[in-house]
C-alpha cells in the first residue's frame, strides 16, 4: 500500500509546521487547512486517506467537522487537541473520530497513531470482501456466519454478551469505541449501570481471549472506552 494522503487541520502555525515537518521526514503526502470551512472543502475536493484534526478552530468546533465528514466518509480521523478532559475525548470519539491525541505530544506518538490508522485502512482494503464471514487477528479468529470465536483454533466459550462485544470490537479494529457507543450498541441504552456492567463483561472477555495467548487484544482507554489492537 502506498503512503496515505493526509489532511492536516490546524490553525496554530507552529504546531502545523511540526506536523508537516514530521510527515515530510516520513515521506507522507499531505495538504493543510487552517480553519473548519477550508478543512471541509479540502476533504470533499481531495478525499484524503486520513485527517489529523485540531478541535479549537477559529470558525467552527472540530466536533462539527467530524460529524460533517462522517456524513459521507469513513476515513480515519485523528484528533490532536489541547482539550484533555475525558468528556472532550468522548464527544469527539462519539462524533466519529478514530483516535485522540492530547497536546503537547511527541513526534513518535503521532507517528504511532498514524500507523494504527494506516493498519486500519489496510485491514479494510484487504479483508473487506471476506469480513462479513470471517475475522482473523493474531491467534484470535471469529466465524461470523457460525457465531463462533476461536483462540489458536480452539473454540472459546463466550456468553452472548461477550460474543457481541468481541464482534463489535473486531469490526472496529484499531478504533477507540467509547463506553456510550458500546453500551448503546449492546444494550440499546447508556445508563450508568450499563457502563458498570460493560466493565465486568470486558474483564471476563479479556481473560478468555488473552489468558492462553501472549498477544493483547483489548486496550483500555481509562474513562473513555476500549479499542481492539491489531496483532
| pLDDT tens digits, one per residue of 125-137 | 555 545 567 899 9
Q: What is the pLDDT of residues 130-159, one digit of tens each?
A: 556 789 999 999 998 889 999 999 999 999
What local confidence, expressed as pLDDT, does residue 141 receive? 94
pLDDT at 159: 92
Q: Report pLDDT for 211.
A: 81
Low-confidence ranges of the chain (pLDDT < 50): 129
Its sign, for the CA torsion 163, 167, 173, 177, is negative
Query: And the C-alpha cell for 167?
Result: 464482534
DSSP letters along the chain, please? Answer: -PPPEEEEE---HHHHHHHHHHHHHTT-EEEEESSHHHHHHHHHHH--SEEEE-SB-SSSBHHHHHHHHHTT----EEEEES--SHHHHHHHHHHT-SEEEESS--HHHHHHHHHHHHHHHHHHHHHTTTTTTEEEETTEEEETTTTEEEETTEEP---HHHHHHHHHHHTTTTS-EEHHHHHHHHHS---HHHHHHHHHHHHHHHHHHHTT-S---EEEETTTEEEEPP-
pLDDT of residue 192: 66
What pLDDT sits at residue 49? Answer: 94
Amino acid at each position: 500500500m502506498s503512503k496515505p494522503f493526509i489532511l492536516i487541520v490546524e490553525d496554530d502555525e507552529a504546531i502545523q509546521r511540526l506536523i508537516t515537518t514530521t510527515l515530510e521526514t516520513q515521506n507522507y503526502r499531505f495538504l493543510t487547512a487552517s480553519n473548519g470551512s477550508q478543512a471541509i472543502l479540502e476533504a470533499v475536493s481531495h478525499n484524503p486517506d486520513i485527517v489529523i484534526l485540531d478541535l479549537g478552530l477559529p470558525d467552527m468546533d472540530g466536533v462539527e467537522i467530524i460529524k460533517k465528514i462522517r456524513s459521507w466518509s469513513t476515513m480515519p480521523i485523528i484528533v490532536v487537541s489541547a482539550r484533555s478532559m475525558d468528556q472532550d475525548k468522548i464527544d469527539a470519539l462519539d462524533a466519529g473520530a478514530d483516535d485522540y491525541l492530547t497536546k503537547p505530544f511527541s513526534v513518535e506518538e503521532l507517528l504511532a497513531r498514524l500507523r494504527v490508522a494506516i493498519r486500519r485502512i489496510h485491514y479494510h482494503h484487504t479483508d473487506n470482501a471476506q469480513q462479513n464471514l470471517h475475522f482473523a487477528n493474531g491467534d484470535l479468529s471469529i466465524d461470523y456466519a457460525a457465531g463462533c470465536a476461536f483462540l489458536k483454533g480452539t473454540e472459546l466459550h463466550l456468553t452472548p454478551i461477550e460474543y457481541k462485544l468481541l464482534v463489535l470490537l473486531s469490526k472496529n479494529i484499531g478504533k477507540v469505541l467509547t463506553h456510550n457507543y458500546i453500551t448503546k450498541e449492546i444494550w440499546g441504552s447508556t445508563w450508568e449501570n450499563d457502563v458498570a456492567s460493560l466493565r465486568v463483561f470486558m474483564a471476563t472477555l479479556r481473560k478468555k481471549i488473552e489468558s492462553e495467548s501472549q498477544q493483547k487484544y483489548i486496550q483500555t482507554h481509562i474513562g473513555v472506552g476500549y479499542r481492539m489492537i491489531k496483532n
